[in-house]
Amino acid sequence: MNLRSFSIKRFLLLSFILNLPPILAVTKVGLLFLPLLFWVNIPVLWTGIAKAIGSTHFKIEEFGALPQTALAYAIIIIFWLLIAALITLITSRAKPE
């Protein structure tokens, strides 16, 4: 197995794990409010994206931001994909051949 295929598998696994809260929310798994809340609010509120693109895409309430459009969900998913790519890049470079 070469490094490239291993890195792609690692990236896909990390992408799946990091985007798991909305997948589980669709299947109605109980006690999912906090993971879904963190999944939305880490990229949106902590980076300031919600205020940057406006209230038409995100509604900011007591418990954080709520995505209102498909663009809002796409921004969140892209953020987590970039994090997965960064983790994959760091871990694949840590083991030179």
Fill in the amino acid letter for 28: K
Specify the pLDDT at position 97. 55
Specify the pLDDT at position 85. 92
Specify the pLDDT at position 62. 83
| Cα–Cα distance for residue pair 38/34, rounded to 1 Å | 6
* Nearest-10 crossing angle of helices 33-44, 70-93: 80
Question: What residue segments make up the domains of the chain, in order of their start?
Answer: 3-93
**pTM for the model:** 0.79
Specify the pLDDT at position 30. 62
Q: Profile the chain (97 residues) by mean pLDDT over runs of 10 residues.
A: 69 91 73 78 86 86 86 91 91 65
Q: What is the dihedral of CA 81, 72, 26, 10, to 10 degrees?
A: 0
Specify the pLDDT at position 74. 92
Specify the pLDDT at position 20. 86
